[in-house]
Amino acid sequence: MYSWIAGRAVRALIGRLNAGDVPALMRAYADDALLVFPGNSSFAGEMRGKREIEAWLERFVSLGPSLVVHDVAVAGAPWNLRVLFRFSDRIPIPDGGEYRNEGMEYLRIHFGKCREQFVYLDTQKVADLDTRLKAAA
């Protein structure tokens, strides 16, 4: 049952991300949360704590992303969940094109707050997005 509830919560949070509602997203993070985004792009890094995560999210939502959640899997006790979800992502690019990617995220949620978030996706596509955004600026 809580797998269904967690799936609805993930989809609701991704809806807030698509709407650019960073304050709503930030309420889901623990004060000492960790967000890991891989690769060699300006998006890559380890963001630690709410301030760094919020700055990263503000930049990301400013691009107008559109994420779609396809599958959600949950394991663990309700107070110590591990959540995995598969997504697809689109971002319009000012040069008239569009960035598209697919990936998965792993979340560790402790007593209702996200403590760790790891993003897994095609990092070369993200690096290409960086190049296209710089060229369009």
Q: What is the pLDDT of residues 8-65, one digit of tens each?
A: 989 999 999 999 999 999 999 999 999 999 999 999 999 999 999 999 999 999 999 9
Give pLDDT, residue 1.
Answer: 64
CA distance 137 to 11: 32
What pTM value is reported for the model? 0.93
Fold of 2-136: Nuclear Transport Factor 2; Chain: A, (3.10.450)
Give pLDDT, residue 51.
Answer: 97
Please determine, for residue 137, whether its predicted confidence score (pLDDT) is greater than 90. no
**Spatial strand order in the sheet of 45-48:** 45-48, 29-37, 113-121, 98-110, 80-92, 66-75
